[in-house]
């Protein structure tokens, strides 16, 4: 297993380019299943999870190839596919559950492995299944698989209110409703930019969707959709990770290609922590001016502070001149980075959903263990600031969501390298 080695203490200076959003690319690839033909998805990051989704569509009988010209994927979907997502693929990437809605909507049946939990929580999909049932699907759970069928041959529009705001739940059902008969009204929907991007992609395929970006989606089903031709939005979490790194003392970084509107909650917190953040041509510039100031943050669904940025911000606040509180309301176990940060000298106390971070003047490099995607990113950020050497192990977690992060940080002056196991 590869490790990433960081020699900390070097302020970051320069410009870094953001890749396409993993969490917009994955639903877009799944959406290709809604229409026969040749699809083009551009600005797709080259990540482990994207390769897994491509392998999954390949398993179903689609042809998926990386195309250099638009740094994306070309996907050929046949008239008939094997509507299955096997455990071997789903267990490595929960987002594979996104094929469920498209398969049952287009072919009237799907057999998708139940995604296991993961490090950050149980991650149930009850809302996905309740909503598809409301659309007329018959759902059976056995042997760890979801067997979904549309008894009437086609799903039927309905009105459904989610019990919780779920990103992939909203996306799964939005895709299914696009081909259902009649009107569907979905309430308490997720409003993340990635949901809005999927809705835009579906509309370009011929879907009739209103309300994207609000918590109520209205969809008028159509008989058939045309192939996707879509450019994925920039990755706001990758961008946010670089903004946090650029807020470290003495750093001055331009994060190019991100959209300021997607990052407002994070930027507010970085400014409260004393960083200067401003819009520049094509992105955002962040300057870290001395020790951060403590801030309190509470994660919540968009447009609130993103749970996917909680770990990274915590790494910065470990250096603040005071105590910060971070409350994680979205997932039940998203503090795995805490014990690793403590190994680096951080003073953090966790009480249920809240972590209290008492800032220290400096962190010290140490061997640490990545546990999930964003916790790994937090350890890289901490390593950049720490005195001495940090060795992050199990970086396969990192590679799921960051396209060669060491190759992006090194030009900023970071002393960072990957060591092949």
* Buried-state track 387-419, b at ≥16 Cβ within 10 A, e below 16: eeebbbbebebbbbbbbebbebbeebebebebe
Q: Which of 142, 154, 168, 189 is nearest to 53 (CA)?
A: 168
Which DSSP symbol is given to 164? S
- In the complex, least distance from residue 301 CB atom to ligand EPZ, rounded to whole angstroms: 7
Distance, CA of 352 to CA of 335 (rounded, Å): 10
- Pick out residues in 81-100 that bind ligand EPZ (CB under 6 A): 95
Stretch that binds ligand EPZ, among 10-18, 164-172, 206-214, 242-250 (CB under 6 A): 164-172
- In the complex, least distance from residue 151 CB atom to ligand EPZ, rounded to whole angstroms: 22
Choice between 166 and 184, CB closer to ligand EPZ: 166
Contact at 8 Å (CB) between 99 and 126?
no
Contact at 8 Å (CB) between 345 and 360?
yes
DSSP annotation string for 3-42: EEEEE--PPPEEEEE--B-HHHHHHHHHHGGGSSEEEEEE
- In the complex, least distance from residue 194 CB atom to ligand EPZ, rounded to whole angstroms: 6
Task: For residue 189, indicate whether it is catalytic.
Answer: no
Pick from 124, 211, 345, 413 the residue near ligand EPZ by CB under 6 A.
124
In the set 118, 189, 258, 318, the catalytic residue is 118
- In the complex, least distance from residue 198 CB atom to ligand EPZ, rounded to whole angstroms: 10
Which DSSP symbol is given to 219? E
- Dihedral sign (CA 191, 192, 198, 204): positive
Is 199 one of the binding residues for ligand EPZ (CB under 6 A)? Answer: no
Helix (H) or strand (E) holding 173: helix 167-178
Is 304 one of the binding residues for ligand EPZ (CB under 6 A)? Answer: no
Contact at 8 Å (CB) between 138 and 151?
yes
Q: Which of 291, 403, 389, 416 is nearest to 44 (CA)?
A: 403
Choice between 324 and 376, CB closer to ligand EPZ: 376
Distance, CA of 100 to CA of 111 (rounded, Å): 8
DSSP annotation string for 300-359: -STTSB-GGGHHHHHHHHTTSSSEEEEE--S-SS--HHHHHHHHTT-EEEEETTEEEEE-
- In the complex, least distance from residue 195 CB atom to ligand EPZ, rounded to whole angstroms: 9
Pick from 65, 88, 126, 210 the residue near ligand EPZ by CB under 6 A.
126
Is 303 one of the binding residues for ligand EPZ (CB under 6 A)? Answer: no
Pick from 3, 19, 149, 168 the residue near ligand EPZ by CB under 6 A.
168
Is 113 one of the binding residues for ligand EPZ (CB under 6 A)? Answer: no
- Pick out residues in 236-265 that bind ligand EPZ (CB under 6 A): none
Is 172 one of the binding residues for ligand EPZ (CB under 6 A)? Answer: no
Pick from 167, 258, 267, 409 the residue near ligand EPZ by CB under 6 A.
167
Is 128 one of the binding residues for ligand EPZ (CB under 6 A)? Answer: yes
Pick from 12, 26, 62, 176 the residue near ligand EPZ by CB under 6 A.
26
Choice between 243 and 254, CB closer to ligand EPZ: 243
Stretch that binds ligand EPZ, among 21-29, 262-270, 354-362, 386-394 (CB under 6 A): 21-29
Q: What is the CA radius of gyration of the chain?
A: 21
Q: List Cβ neighbours of 132 (8 Å cut-off, separation of 6 or more).
A: 100, 101, 104, 139, 148, 155, 172, 173, 176
| Exposed / middle / buried, residue 185 (Cβ in 10 Å: 0-12, 13-18, 19+) | middle
- In the complex, least distance from residue 330 CB atom to ligand EPZ, rounded to whole angstroms: 5
Binding mask 398-417 for ligand EPZ (x = CB under 6 A): ---x----------------
Contact at 8 Å (CB) between 417 and 5?
yes
Choice between 307 and 390, CB closer to ligand EPZ: 307
Is 330 one of the binding residues for ligand EPZ (CB under 6 A)? Answer: yes
- 347 forms beta bridges with 358
Pick from 160, 331, 335, 402 the residue near ligand EPZ by CB under 6 A.
331
**Interface residues with ligand EPZ (CB under 6 A)?**
22-23, 26, 95, 121, 123-128, 164, 166-169, 190, 194, 307-308, 330-331, 373-374, 401
Annotated catalytic residues are 118
């Amino acid at each position: 297993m590869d490790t990433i080695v960081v020699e900390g203490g070097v302020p970051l200076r320069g410009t870094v380019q953001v890749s396409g959003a993993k969490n917009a690319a994955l639903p877009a690839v799944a959406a290709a299943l809604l229409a026969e033909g040749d699809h083009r998805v551009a600005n797709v990051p080259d990540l482990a999870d994207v390769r897994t989704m491509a392998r999954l569509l390949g398993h179903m009988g689609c042809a998926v190839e990386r195309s250099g010209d638009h740094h994306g994927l070309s996907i050929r979907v046949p008239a008939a596919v094997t509507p299955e997502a096997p455990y071997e693929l789903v267990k490595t990437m929960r987002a594979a559950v996104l094929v469920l809605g498209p398969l049952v909507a287009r072919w009237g049946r799907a057999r998708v492995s139940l995604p296991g939990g993961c490090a950050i929580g149980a991650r149930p999909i009850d809302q996905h299944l309740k909503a598809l049932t409301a659309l007329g699907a018959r759902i059976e759970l056995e042997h760890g698989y979801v067997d979904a069928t549309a008894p009437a041959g086609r799903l039927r529009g309905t009105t459904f209110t989610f019990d919780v705001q779920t990103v992939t739940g909203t996306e799964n059902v939005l895709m299914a409703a696009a081909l259902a008969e009649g009107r569907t009204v979905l309430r308490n929907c997720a409003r993340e930019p990635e949901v809005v991007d999927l809705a835009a992609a579906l509309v370009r395929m011929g879907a009739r969707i209103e309300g994207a970006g609000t918590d109520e989606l209205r969809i008028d089903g159509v008989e058939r959709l045309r192939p996707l031709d879509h450019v994925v939005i920039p990755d706001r979490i990758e961008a946010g990770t670089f903004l946090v790194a650029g807020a470290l003392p003495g750093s001055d970084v331009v994060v190019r290609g991100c959209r300021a509107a997607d990052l407002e909650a994070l930027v507010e917190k970085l400014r409260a922590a004393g960083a200067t953040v401003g819009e520049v041509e094509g992105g955002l510039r962040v300057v870290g001016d001395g020790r951060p100031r403590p801030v309190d943050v509470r994660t919540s669904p968009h447009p609130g502070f993103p749970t996917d940025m909680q770990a990274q911000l915590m790494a910065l606040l470990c250096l603040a001149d005071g105590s910060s509180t971070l409350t994680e309301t979205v997932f039940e176990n998203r503090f795995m980075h805490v014990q690793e940060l403590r190994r680096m000298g951080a003073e953090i106390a966790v009480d249920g959903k809240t972590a209290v971070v008492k800032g220290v003047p400096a962190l010290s490099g140490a061997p640490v263990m990545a546990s999930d995607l964003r916790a790994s990113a937090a350890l890289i950020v901490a390593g950049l600031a720490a005195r001495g050497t940090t060795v992050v192990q199990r970086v396969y977690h990192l590679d799921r969501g960051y396209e060669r992060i060491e190759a992006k940080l090194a030009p900023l002056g970071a002393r960072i390298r990957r060591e092949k196991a």
